Amino acid sequence: MYIIIVGAGDIGTPLIDVATRSGNEVVVIEREAKKADQIAGEYDCLVLNADATVKETLEDAGAEQADAIISTTDQDATNIMICLLSKELDIPAILSVVHNPEHMGLFRQIGVNTMENPQQLIAEYLYRAVARPAIVDYMRIGEEAEVFEISVTAQAPIAGKTLIEAADDEIIPDDVLIVAIEREGEDPPITPRGSTRIEAGDLLTVYSGFGAEPELTDVFGHYEDRLD
């Protein structure tokens, strides 16, 4: 893909690293000369030391051929201006970081895909690591639903049961779905079916409509996730 990344700060720099390592054609726009020089020296990409809120800058960055633009500056107003110009230039995919949750509606009104306040997301992730140590990784979907990974202990109520048995015994709530099973010696991961038996040591990818509450992590044998 041809990707334009605006900003080489705490968010933009790791993004540049991922995008270039993945073999994409990347153009970076960075206003600060020192940062622009640093990125140009470290990554295989074209770097423009310029102002992305100027239409000509986006044109110079190859907006006409770009598949996507991602704005990562620390100012929502700047990101909005860049997104508006990108729409005017018909860039197919426009994405932006949003720092103030009150501005989310405005970004959505102009049809921009967003990532809300990365610092807040990091804080929530770190808190989850402490409050729910059994959760290996998770992603929130909407207000309450989550997809997460969790291992199955030998003491888990679900261990040794098929998914049909677990449902019949009301061990798994109706709005919980086992999406994938990683099991030692099995490659690729197992796609679960009703007759699939859950074993101790399995790493499950789970969808829950109400999140990874203690009542659910208990099902997989992680009673330590209950907070005092």
Least confident of 44-48, 50-54, 182-186: 182-186
If asked whether residues 111 and 128 sit together in one domain, one would say: no
If asked whether residues 60 and 86 sit together in one domain, one would say: yes
Report residue 127's pLDDT band, with 50, 70 and 90 as the boundaries: confident
Rounded Cα–Cα distance for residues 212 and 130 (Å):
13
If asked whether residues 104 and 156 sit together in one domain, one would say: no
Backbone φ and ψ for 146, nearest 5 degrees, come out as: -145, 150
Mean pLDDT of 95-101: 89
Q: Give the mean pLDDT of the chain.
A: 90
If asked whether residues 112 and 177 sit together in one domain, one would say: no
pLDDT at 196: 96
Listed residues 53, 82, 116: the one ending a domain: 116
If asked whether residues 138 and 194 sit together in one domain, one would say: yes
- Predicted confidence (pLDDT) at residue 107 exceeds the cutoff of 80: yes
Q: What is the pTM of this model?
A: 0.64
Print the domain residue range for 208: 122-225
DSSP letter at 221 equals T
Report residue 228's pLDDT band, with 50, 70 and 90 as the boundaries: very low
Angle at 195 between CA 178 and CA 139, to 5 degrees: 5
Q: CATH no. for residue 17?
A: 3.40.50.720
Nearby residues of 72 by Cβ (< 8 Å), 6 or more positions away: 5, 6, 7, 9, 11, 12, 15, 79, 96, 97
